[in-house]
Structure 1
């Protein structure tokens, strides 16, 4: 069996695969489309992250492909319809990074609330400016969720433990689903979440229904000092609209772990703003989550190659 891995992976899963298959691991292969297509001629399994575009052309160049593994949960870089037409299952690391993403969101909320971004540099410069760096408590603040999947529910439990008010919108959630009935998250309309929340966190997939979900109209419904957090996918927030909104409203803040183009262009205008925190798509990247992801995807790929249906397939 031949397995091709085109992006960054952790050694635990690679070593597991090597016990059963011939593994080609080239974490930068996704950058060289021509070489990528050549490498797939004999591949029975392809393992990707979020940069490799698995489209009709790629699948045509992989006539022996039996399974696609996704090192993560987002599937927007994989043409699922094309894969289904060729009867190629796609397996993914369901919930393997949910803890990491929820902790990332919570940690950025706490950092922003206590003004911890610049205070170290200030102290190192010989200042002792306690008034400037007097922050705010998150206790009693409202965190609003757009999307209430596994990550949202885990984050909601952690936010409630800090005494935050937790509200959310998800059109696929019924009144007595776990998030509302057991976690204690209060159901709101989409507009109500925008209007009520001090912090708004996005947890939805990227598709034709969620593209530009947050644009000028939605931003203008938010509180003056709102903090917007996107760990889902770039393109869910309209970036030009967000830039204009942040520029005109210096009390607002954005925490962006994802961009429409990754990595973003060096001249991206949002880099010039002070009221942003930017990270390179790392909310789900911790050593623990990536060990889980690597092993989980390796196991599910091997199940499919051995004729067993994965529990995490689409």
Structure 2
């Protein structure tokens, strides 16, 4: 039994050093075997996970010596943070380490949608040279609507503003005069206003009981027929059947989804739509972001196990 369990494929120089220096068991597929995982947790003092390991009450109860749960990423929807804290377990995550990478992918998906890059590439590979068919739209002058203006939303808005886009946002935790809005000349609006006005709607909302399936067919039906929807946050905030129906009925022009309701997803009508871009939850997967993420979780594990205060501790 090891002091530190790594249950998913979390790699990097800091992880190699952690394995060299401390008592670590690294098993990229351990999250798939709950019984074995619970057995190995009996003597573990630290648990390092990404998003596949469901750290619920049952798993926490199987780890009586656990001092820290370190989530390699931003969201904590796979960790029962409240119960962990009741048990005196520190929960750490990496709220800022991959924000820039997510923001950049969002901009990339927006460009791909408006300039029809994937369709143009595929047509050209098959011998086509149909320039007029792939006439796209500029970002300049378009209205960019953000659902959520936290760290990632703010970084995305800054980059969209550099393209000359007009920024509007909805965020229940944001004041109308918030610095994040002022920096980009943005305006706080209601969700209904945002959906009706935006040429591109981008979701940056965390997954909570209140946001689960918060975007439904009726919401997508409020969008402009030439508008696009992007989601790089959590797939579960979208009612996928409602989005599919809205796309089939041409209520909006297209969508780009890096996250899905179920991951990995089953076959879906989305797979057959030329105006839909699907990527496998890669927003945070850049070399730079992964280095920052792994550096952060390994450092916090070292600090907690040595009796010191962690840096990126979760606070409710």
TM normalised by structure 2 equals 0.95
Quick check: 32-41 or 153-162, which moved more?
32-41
- Specify the alignment match of 1:97 in structure 2: 98
Offset of 1:80 from its aligned partner?
1.1
In structure 2, distance between residues paired with 1:56 and 1:180: 39
Q: Is the 8 A contact 2:224 2:251 kept in 1?
A: no
Offset of 1:20 from its aligned partner?
3.5
Offset of 1:11 from its aligned partner?
2.1
Offset of 1:182 from its aligned partner?
2.6
- Specify the alignment match of 1:126 in structure 2: 127
Q: Deviations over 1:10-40 (max 9, x none)?
A: 2223123224411111111111111111121
Quick check: 119-128 or 26-35, which moved more?
119-128
- Specify the alignment match of 1:152 in structure 2: 153
Q: Is the 8 A contact 1:250 1:275 kept in 2?
A: no
Equivalenced residues, count: 313
Offset of 1:122 from its aligned partner?
2.4
* Structure 1 counterpart SS, 2:175: coil
Offset of 1:189 from its aligned partner?
1.5
- Specify the alignment match of 1:245 in structure 2: 246
RMSD, aligned CA: 1.4
- Specify the alignment match of 1:177 in structure 2: 178
Q: Deviations over 1:102-141 (max 9, x none)?
A: 0000011111111111223322333221111121111111
Counterparts of 1:63-74 in structure 2 under 5 Å?
63-74=64-75
* Structure 1 counterpart SS, 2:133: coil
Offset of 1:186 from its aligned partner?
1.6
Quick check: 115-124 or 216-225, which moved more?
115-124
In structure 2, distance between residues paired with 1:13 and 1:225: 46
* Structure 1 counterpart SS, 2:89: coil
Q: Deviations over 1:232-259 (max 9, x none)?
A: 1111010111111111117521111111
Q: Is the 8 A contact 1:216 1:242 kept in 2?
A: yes
Unaligned runs of 5+ in 2: none
Counterparts of 1:1-314 in structure 2 under 5 Å?
2-249=3-250, 252-265=253-266, 267-314=267-314
Report the CA distance shift for 1:123/1:220 in structure 2 as closer, same or farther (over 3 A).
closer
* Structure 2 counterpart SS, 1:139: coil
In structure 1, distance between residues paired with 2:252 and 2:194: 19
Q: Is the 8 A contact 1:16 1:295 kept in 2?
A: no
In structure 1, distance between residues paired with 2:296 and 2:195: 36
Q: Is the 8 A contact 2:149 2:180 kept in 1?
A: yes
* Structure 2 counterpart SS, 1:118: helix
Quick check: 245-254 or 36-45, which moved more?
245-254
Unaligned runs of 5+ in 1: none
Q: Deviations over 1:133-180 (max 9, x none)?
A: 121111111110011011111111111111111111111111232212
Offset of 1:188 from its aligned partner?
1.3
TM normalised by structure 1 equals 0.96
In structure 2, distance between residues paired with 1:247 and 1:125: 26
